[in-house]
Chains A and B, each alone.
With several copies, the nearest count.
Chain A
Amino acid sequence: MTTRISRDDLARRIAADIPEGSYVNLGIGAPTLVANFLPADEEIILHTENGLLGMGPAPEPGLVDPDLINAGKQAVTALPGAAYFHHADSFAMMRGGHLDVCVLGAFQVSQTGDLANWSTGAPGAIPAVGGAMDLAIGAKDVYVMTDLLTKQGESKLVAACTYPLTGVGCVSRVYTDHAVFDVADGAFVVRELFGDNTIDELRELTGLALGATEGN
């Protein structure tokens, strides 16, 4: 049985890799958890694509402000030093490469860094992309936060994505509940193993010829 760390532990692990002073966009869903583990004594500036830089935590109950929301349409706050701007300016920040890190969820990531996270391509599903494609190309480093396996036990790390793509060659690192992988030269390289996971086990789970960094 392989070790699987919790969502919170994975969020904590990602938070530890984000240096002070970084400009960061946390995607809707699990990536939002990363905010909870950013060190309180460091300044890391959060961007939300609906027009706010310097996003703070959720407000106290009773202080919800309907005009102050994040991209997931949840109530948030603004820190001292925050700035509001319109949508064209906000996406110019992403597209122009001004963010340091985006953390995104995924259905699949390919070993060449392709990301699929907006559509399963299921017939009859209502398509909705939002800012996913902009986020995928919208930071110096695009990190994926995901379980390694689907509920059906299939690897989300794949040789080539079978789901509709969000972006091509855009992912730099994948944080999973089993291990952390870098995308390098068309292959996944194991950067860090959690618990008792071994590279051989991960090779078996993913069906991929995973590379290893020194010490792994």
Chain B
Amino acid sequence: MIDKTVPNVEAAVAGIADGATVMIGGFGRAGQPVELIDALIAHGASDLTIVNNNAGNGDTGLAALLAAKRVRKIICSFPRQSDSWVFDGLYRAGEIELELVPQGNLAERIRAAGAGIGAFFSPTGVGTQLAEGKEAREIGGRRYVLEYPITADFALISARKGDRWGNLVFRETARNFGPIMATAAATTIAQVDEVVPLGDIDPETVVTPGLFVDRVVAVGERPWLRDDVFVGGVDLEGRALEEENR
């Protein structure tokens, strides 16, 4: 019997070595595997290269990993946010390296890694600072730059439900980078709100087929989803909800 479920988040992050490249799903807070990140902090791996769209929000999750000085370098599209004070401080102090990638190129480079594509010509970023030094080419009258895959040793992602084969479904815009990161890492670790029996997920609706997933851990209802309050998020006016609830 195939059973990719592991009993707890400690077991889920086992084997992540110092110096590893780790993709972490999420767009801001949505889809961020906070429980796995907390376990990674406790696990202790350091000198990490992190791939994420952002560079942490508030003081939890990815921001806490950064605050613990475990991250040597971050590859992302949008580090600077209203609540990215942890990253901001480290960056200004020269304590973290940043590789800035346009968001769509980040996504496509991750997908390319999972799909076995050696490199691809993208029109995004042509003629900008972020394409400097990259191979350029005109194809069919349009200009492109050559972009290479981004691979990782591990991917930590968050999904709504999973089964023991590793099939996953996501929830709303928390899907974001999870499905593509799952394809691009040597070992993919998924936290899910709920593990369901094999066969419960309609085969027509599986978003991430189990072959991309190595470990599944149930974390229960995510605490920052409770009471209709987006813990650490922003309200309708963009103010931090945490502030309001303090």
Contacts and interface: CB of A to CB of B under 8 A. Distances in A.
Nearest to A86: B179
A54 B203 contact: yes
A168 B127 CA distance: 6
Contacts of A122: none
Contacts, number: 238
B165 interface: yes
Interface string B212-230: 1000000000001100111
A88 B199 contact: no
Given A69-B28, A95-B116, A95-B117, A134 B104 contact: yes
Interface in B102-127: 102-108, 110-111, 113-117, 122-127
How large, as a class, is the contact surface on chain A? 35 or more
A174 to B, nearest CB: 19
A84 B115 contact: no
Contact of A67 (B78, B107, B113, B173): B173
A51 B173 contact: yes
Question: In which size bucket is the chain B interface?
Answer: 35 or more
Interface string B77-91: 111110000011001
A82 interface: yes
Nearest to A121: B129
Interface string A117-147: 0010000101111111110011000000000
Contacts of B128: 133, 164-168
A71 to B, nearest CB: 8
Given A92-B183, A99-B211, A86 B235 contact: no
Interface in A80-118: 80-88, 90-99, 114
Contacts of A11: none
| In the complex, the 10 A-B pairs of residues with the closest C-beta atoms, listed nearest first | A80-B199, A91-B104, A95-B116, A134-B104, A92-B115, A168-B127, A83-B206, A66-B230, A130-B78, A128-B80
